[in-house]
Structure 1
């Protein structure tokens, strides 16, 4: 088998063997791919413009899911709890669990290092809820038909990728801020344990 083989002196080799926390690279990869597709959108013809919406939204959704699950895992570790491995794909449930655990952890974080205030988190819950209502199990933008053989998307005729990008970036900015806060707290815990 040679499908996933690295080739010496091939400039397209992806060097993944060194990654300690692959979750961050998975989510970054999905996010980067979605952003690059959206940035190239204006250069595409009509059939491609209509078709590209499915992978773009799926890539963003998968990025969100991976990032939030990783943040839950890391929040658990920072709190001294056994890290949770979440196996379901419901974005709203994942978000609510992250928000709950982050809220508890943020009680111990110095306010100057809490980059995600509760107001921001409340604001994006509605966007995540809307996403979850359309794509609850991560199938809608991945498959044209659901498990019952029905069309995945029935109630939507048009999707503005510009609007989608604006709204999803609001969510991603809050998640990035949660990540930044947790990174600072992880460094703090390291410093305390090595002192």
Structure 2
């Protein structure tokens, strides 16, 4: 694979970075999630240092970055479970729907059947997502079901992306987002370790994903 230089500085200059080097895009989903989360931390730290000042519009990038990191972790979790539990033919129908989906609760529901089936193989701390974290995911999905609300003021329908005035605190939100991300990261890391051991034991019915049937079936 050749390397395209896109506004890069001379080799060895700090700030140069390589993207898409793994040659397997789905494997980069968690790396992207970590990057968005780290970017949110940088913004949070900057606002904490300031201590004062208007941050109304500064909240949108913070919330979006955390929300996008959560979405990517959920997609990574579903992808690993799908690779583990369905054959290659069904996987071809399933994955396009996965990458297009933006609802956090729908993504979680895609993973739930396998997480339930493999309950005994998971450490106690990973067998269920904490109720407070589930409530946080539900609340965030309700406010931003399609990942539009903190990226655009206008929804694809032409109306307001947010339904009304929204009061939030980026530091309180960030703490809950981090707590949830820690849990999702732990599950994803465990799946990476256990995926081969679990493969012969679990089959997943992806009916909830509304994947189209093969013409041969």
TM superposition shift of 1:150: 2.8
Summarize the Cα distance change of 1:176–1:7 in structure 2 as closer, same or farther, 3 Å threshold.
same
Structure with bigger RCO (C-alpha 8 Å, 6+ apart): 2
- Helix, strand or coil: the match of 1:57? helix
Q: 98, 102, 115: which is aligned to 1:102?
A: 115
Summarize the Cα distance change of 1:11–1:67 in structure 2 as closer, same or farther, 3 Å threshold.
same
TM superposition shift of 1:103: 1.7
Indicate if the aligned counterparts of 1:72 and 1:101 stay in contact, CA closer than 8 A. no
Whether 1:71 and 2:77 are equivalent positions in the alignment is: yes
TM superposition shift of 1:139: 0.3
Distance 2:124 2:84 in 1: 14
TM superposition shift of 1:80: 4.8
CA RMSD of aligned residues (A): 2.5
Q: 59, 79, 83: which is aligned to 2:65?
A: 59
Q: 157, 161, 174: which is aligned to 1:152?
A: 161
Summarize the Cα distance change of 1:189–1:146 in structure 2 as closer, same or farther, 3 Å threshold.
closer
Summarize the Cα distance change of 1:128–1:38 in structure 2 as closer, same or farther, 3 Å threshold.
same
Whether 1:12 and 2:12 are equivalent positions in the alignment is: no
Summarize the Cα distance change of 1:183–1:69 in structure 2 as closer, same or farther, 3 Å threshold.
same
Aligned length: 185
The residue number in structure 1 matching 2:211 is none
Q: 172, 179, 183: which is aligned to 1:163?
A: 172
TM superposition shift of 1:143: 0.3
Distance 2:166 2:68 in 1: 23
Indicate if the aligned counterparts of 1:27 and 1:67 stay in contact, CA closer than 8 A. yes
TM-score by length of 2: 0.74
The residue number in structure 2 matching 1:23 is 29
- CA displacement 1:158-194 (0-9 Å, x = unmatched): 211121012212211221221132122036469xxxx
Distance 1:163 1:182 in 2: 29
- Helix, strand or coil: the match of 1:40? helix
The residue number in structure 2 matching 1:89 is 102
Distance 1:24 1:173 in 2: 12
